[in-house]
A and B are shown apart, each in its own frame.
Chain A
């Protein structure tokens, strides 16, 4: 099952001097895969943290029909799976198996249900056979897959990914794209790598200075050179290299 996301007039600041999100509004349909792009420090990761209730600003954030509030946090955290930029910030259990089981156990699933969810997440992320591996001894690609598996084990309606394609080699990236495309949950994907978004997202939103500047189909947005350039996302450099190469 997938849930839609509705963000209305969201503002947030870490300190009084600088507002990171400014009256931001965005709507993502249930089951949609939305890319979120923008220059460094534009508020992308901060926005993701609001979906799971890890940060709360002024304005409203709704996941399906449930508003993100203090008293709905358990429900929200069951609905929204969050994968952090650096897997080392996400993995804190000694083995892969324990890491994946952590969420279901905390949400009170029975041992049989936990075992079932563990099996599903391992299979979905192609990690079967690595249950007893020590998380910290895995490669970056494997750790990224384990981080996503920890979230899949909760069968969330919304999956928020922060820079999932960073530090991945091409085969690993293709594998991750396959996995994302095979899932029916609503996705919101923050990425500095723009090209993979073409293969997995329905729409992208550009965020700059804490505001949504444009939303639209991936191709339309990426082809709008002026819009991209004005928001620090110039693809001209890659175009030039590709032209020289081929």
Chain B
């Protein structure tokens, strides 16, 4: 079975790809923290954050169409969360009057922008590094071993599950003259059950294969992360820029 990996662009050779995984993790998470900490209603800083993110994305050489596609898959949730704010005010008697005021709309917009930027940062993070190297980085940042083990197993099982889904779909389609005509629901339910059972069996064997080669819950890589000067400089520079936008764009906004 052939399918693309979730981290399909993690093998590109860009300055960002070559950075230590800890730098990417810290930049993404601290970046999100700074963006999210913006007071509601402040919109101008998002233009600067967006510009900064664009620079990071350009340095990563990731295809924009790919990033946009990933974003669009999850964007309905962001849109719903943003729209929900004024709508919820409208349905409460005491706040109905201010539901569609400029300030309310600005808050909704800032929810949308915060969530969008955070999502782009996360998409960027999983696109510029292999998943298991990210876990290795997180372990170096003191993530508990158990969380890492669960994450890597879940990640592996996505492929097992996907493989089984493809196989059973092929088996089903090979015996149907096109679209299913009858007992659709029962067929899909049966197929789903089979996918789960097969995945469970294969997951057990995979776990056996890991154990038989010495797996004990720890992560290793042939490329052991090591912080270099360039890593520290990159992280410091971008975090300072994020912080600068966060702390010093206020007077600009008031004017």
A binding-site residues for B, Cβ under 8 Å: 49, 52, 54, 74, 77-78, 80-82, 84, 86, 88-90, 92-94, 97-98, 101-103, 105-107, 111, 114-115, 118, 134, 136-137, 150-151, 154
Cβ-Cβ contact count across A and B, 8 Å cutoff: 73
Contact flag A82-B212 (CB < 8 Å), given A105-B222, A106-B220 = yes
- Nearest CB on A from B138, distance (A): 17
Instruction: Report whether A78 and B214 are in contact in the complex, using a CB–CB cutoff of 8 Å.
Output: yes
Instruction: Report whether B214 and A106 are in contact in the complex, using a CB–CB cutoff of 8 Å.
Output: yes
A136: chain B residues at CB < 8 Å are 1-3, 159
Q: Does B156 contact A (CB under 8 A)?
A: yes
User: Chain A binding site: helix, strand, loop or mixed by DSSP?
Assistant: helix
Taken residue by residue from 206 to 223, chain B's Cβ proximity to chain A (1 for < 8 Å, 0 otherwise) reads as 101111111110101110
Q: Does B224 contact A (CB under 8 A)?
A: yes
Closest to B10 in A: A94
Top 4 A-B residue pairs of the complex, sorted by shortest distance between their CB atoms: A105-B220, A106-B214, A103-B213, A89-B205
Instruction: Report whether A74 and B214 are in contact in the complex, using a CB–CB cutoff of 8 Å.
Output: yes
Instruction: Report whether A92 and B222 are in contact in the complex, using a CB–CB cutoff of 8 Å.
Output: no
Instruction: Report whether B214 and A103 are in contact in the complex, using a CB–CB cutoff of 8 Å.
Output: yes
Partner of B222, one of A86, A90, A97, A137: A97
A136 to B216, CA, bound (A): 24
A81 to B209, CA, bound (A): 10
Closest to B203 in A: A89
- Nearest CB on A from B150, distance (A): 15
A86: chain B residues at CB < 8 Å are 205
A45 to B212, CA, bound (A): 14
Instruction: Report whether A77 and B212 are in contact in the complex, using a CB–CB cutoff of 8 Å.
Output: yes
Residue from A77, A81, A101, A106 whose CB has the most chain B CB atoms within 10 Å: A106
Q: Does B130 contact A (CB under 8 A)?
A: yes
Contact flag A77-B214 (CB < 8 Å), given A54-B208, A97-B222 = yes
Q: Does B5 contact A (CB under 8 A)?
A: yes
Instruction: Report whether A137 and B218 are in contact in the complex, using a CB–CB cutoff of 8 Å.
Output: no
A151: chain B residues at CB < 8 Å are 213
A118 to B222, CA, bound (A): 10
B156: chain A residues at CB < 8 Å are 92
A128 to B210, CA, bound (A): 23
A74 to B159, CA, bound (A): 28
A90 to B214, CA, bound (A): 13
B211: chain A residues at CB < 8 Å are 54, 77
